[in-house]
Chain A
């Protein structure tokens, strides 16, 4: 047992899936040419005023409802002042005193089946900053600024320090991902920065009630990096204290590619943000009617969906848990199950072959080259014994490569399993006739050892049928025909 307890809290930035910015009508679509989606408001041109996006407010309220939180019926915006070129106004418009989402709870489930409740301190609305580009062909001493992302609506979710190891932190992060994608307020594309995590870590002697000094590692955008970063930071802090040093309160950065963590700024250098109420924005009122309407229309939450999958499709708790954790995967599975009429196979293929292939190619299920309908087409042919499991994998590869539907590929590649007994009888007879020596050998072999000789014939027959003969049927026909010769 370790002599140290770890305490972890998370701050999670979630980009809301609105069409436009939080305070302007410029598009938030990902991947546009630099600065083509940054309007006068996003650029903080003099004389412009922000107008709050209704959808952003509604999405934030939906998150609050999903975690059973108090909803801030009257919330307000503050200015957080700091200088940085990707923040044209010189302040970030955010919420401090009156956030839109108050205290709430998120339940996580751990690998050993244990459940734990992580308390949410609050969640607030704010705007994202732009991006600074340091690499490129710029002249020496120059950075490039792209403000397309400036003003993209975010909710920042702040947890209580309720996690005690990396597993709990990752489970919590994944649960939040699952919730925000399930209720459709975020696309969940981590590689595009749609969810970013700040991790607060401290250690204290086992059993102590006093929290240690914490560090904050900013802007992690993958669960894997988070896990690595927490492990390294816990080890660094324990080593430091055991060697007689003290942990400094500081902001740190972790580079997931190089696996190097480093200090960014200490508390002494910390920014003095000089928060004050934003005079450009009035108090935001969310009526009881709006809250109730959003509550009525709230999409199914991951826990409810897991229970439904167990009930409706007779899946195991474990399988249902995996499939329901990701909204896109859950929808994919349901479409494949409904269209194929075979939920068990749909679950196995979604979590197995498909998930593995997507993982290999680093694709999200939303961008899967094999659609749920196409997978259903393949499952139908597996279920009705048209193709073997081995052929199914070939057909899957064909669909992946864009060769068409399962039926088209089975036809084009001549993969259909031959189960017609007349055709199989003929095939077996032909092979026996062409291999008289093997037949003689079989007849002259002791009865006890004859069974071993069958494999040779099977090989020949499968070769002659290009692998399409139904093996069980061939076995029966072959045994019958050889017995007749004895």
Chain B
């Protein structure tokens, strides 16, 4: 199953990754083979089976509402490219 060029371009935009023009065909083929696999899976009859939101037969553990994480700003910002007055600095965003 093939995947159209414009679909690849849209996915790349959504994922914020740059895909070189010369590699688009290759990416298309590889993603297409993934979709073929999904097609095979979809051939299985799942009528009457509840959708699972998780592969494990387990349920979510809950945490007590107690503060356990104190201020670690200095350590956490040590690897940040740019900070000022305790804020992370990023290229200007609007909206």
Contact = CB atoms under 8 A, between A and B. Distances in A.
A, B in one complex: yes
B59 A282 contact: yes
B45 interface: no
B14 A147 contact: no
| Residue from A35, A38, A83, A265 whose CB has the most chain B CB atoms within 10 Å | A35
Contact of A76 (B53, B64, B89): B53
Interface in A61-91: 76, 81, 83-85
B73 A25 contact: no
Interface stretch (A137-145, A161-169, A205-213, A384-392): A137-145
Contacts of B95: 253, 264-265
A285 B59 contact: yes
Given A25-B66, A25-B69, A142-B91, A281 B60 contact: yes
A146 interface: yes
B87 A145 contact: yes
Interface string A282-307: 11110000000000000000000000
A36 B63 contact: no
Contacts of A18: 65
Interface residues of A, number: 57
A145 B73 CA distance: 13
Contact of A147 (B53, B71, B88): B88
Given A27-B67, A54-B65, A142-B91, A282 B86 contact: no
Contacts of B76: 35, 38-40, 43, 45
Given A145-B87, A282-B54, A132 B66 contact: no
A475 to B, nearest CB: 64
A52 interface: yes
Nearest to B93: A143
B16 interface: yes
A414 interface: no
Interface in A124-178: 132-134, 136-138, 141-147
Interface in B71-86: 71-73, 76-77, 82, 84-86
Interface stretch (A1-9, A241-249, A272-280): A272-280
B56 interface: yes
A84 B60 contact: no
A284 B62 CA distance: 9
B-side interface size class: 35 or more
B65 A272 contact: no
Contact of A142 (B16, B53, B64, B90): B90
A431 B14 CA distance: 90
B58 interface: yes
Contact of A36 (B59, B67, B71, B84): B71
A36 B73 contact: yes
A51 B61 contact: yes
B92 A142 contact: yes
Contact of B63 (A34, A51, A274, A279): A51
B91 A141 contact: yes
B42 interface: no
A378 B77 CA distance: 53
Q: Which 9 A-B pairs rank lowest in CB-CB distance, beginning with the nearest?
A: A25-B68, A144-B87, A39-B69, A55-B65, A54-B62, A34-B86, A76-B53, A282-B60, A36-B71
Interface of A: 18-20, 24-27, 33-41, 43, 45, 51-57, 76, 81, 83-85, 97-98, 132-134, 136-138, 141-147, 253, 264-265, 272, 274, 277, 279, 281-285
Given A40-B69, A277-B53, A284-B62, 5 more contacts: A20-B67, A39-B69, A143-B89, A279-B54, A285-B60
